[in-house]
């Protein structure tokens, strides 16, 4: 019966030290740490090296502690499957931020609701982003990758007697972009 700590950070700019400190300050005497550095929560838990190693290590009666359920994943289904897999192995899952034991019936219900709310929030953000892009486009704002060249530039260069190769080189565009812009004029 060991206490296992799991920490994950999404970028190289972040460190797992704060998460390890939070777990230790909460009174857990961690026997073994498993970590994933610079791994997005969008990557399925089972596909992360540190998490996979932890799954192979844990035994019935162990307790897994993490600072928040979003360290396990951001996708509702993945988080629920991950917790169910751990529970099927007889592992108790504790999330500090949410303040509940995910292996109890109340903890599972809370996990389901919180994961659902996190998924809803992600969808709402995407909806607001799409509305913002639509509004910006209606106002004539270019969205997306910056344009390297316009059809007007290509037409002017052709009229100035430049060859397609010279135009592509000067504007730093591909052959496909050149012909697409040429047709747009």
- CATH number for the domain harbouring residue 75: 3.40.50.1390
The single residue of 2, 10, 119, 177 carrying the catalytic annotation is 10
- 144 assigned to some structural domain: no
Considering 66, 100, 118, which residue would you say is the last residue of a domain?
118
Indicate if 93 and 160 belong to the same structural domain: no
Please say whether the beta carbons of 44 and 73 come within 8 A: yes
Place of tokens 């591909």: 174
Distance of alpha carbon 153 from alpha carbon 40, whole angstroms: 41
Indicate if 114 and 171 belong to the same structural domain: no
Indicate if 74 and 157 belong to the same structural domain: no
Distance of alpha carbon 29 from alpha carbon 98, whole angstroms: 19
Q: How high does pLDDT run on average in the chain?
A: 87
84-101 mean pLDDT: 87
CA within 13 Å, CB half, 139: 8
According to the model, what pLDDT value does residue 47 have? 86
Please say whether the beta carbons of 83 and 77 come within 8 A: no
pLDDT band at 45 (very low <50, low <70, confident <90, very high): confident
What's the domain count of the chain?
A: 2
* Percentage with pLDDT > 70 across the chain: 97
Q: Is the pLDDT of residue 1 over 80?
A: yes
Active site residue 40: no
Q: Is 83 left (phi over 0), alpha (psi -120 to 50) or beta?
A: alpha
Domain residue limits at 31? 3-118
pLDDT band at 185 (very low <50, low <70, confident <90, very high): low
């Amino acid at each position: 019966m060991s206490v296992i700590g799991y920490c994950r950070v999404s970028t190289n700019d972040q460190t797992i030290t704060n998460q390890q400190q939070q777990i230790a300050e909460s009174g857990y005497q961690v026997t073994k740490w498993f970590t994933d550095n610079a791994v997005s929560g969008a990557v399925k838990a089972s596909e992360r090296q540190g998490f996979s190693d932890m799954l192979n290590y844990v035994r019935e009666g162990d307790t897994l502690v993490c600072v928040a359920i979003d360290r396990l994943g951001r996708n509702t289904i993945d988080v629920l499957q991950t917790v169910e897999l751990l529970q099927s192995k007889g592992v108790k899952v504790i999330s500090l931020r949410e303040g509940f034991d995910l292996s109890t019936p109340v903890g599972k219900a809370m996990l389901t609701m919180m994961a659902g709310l996190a998924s809803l929030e992600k969808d709402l953000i995407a909806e607001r982003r799409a509305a913002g892009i639509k509004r910006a486009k209606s106002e004539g704002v270019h969205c997306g990758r910056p344009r390297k060249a316009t059809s007007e530039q290509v037409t002017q260069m052709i009229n100035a007697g430049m060859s397609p190769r010279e135009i592509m080189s000067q504007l730093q565009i591909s052959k496909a972009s050149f012909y697409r812009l040429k047709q747009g004029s």
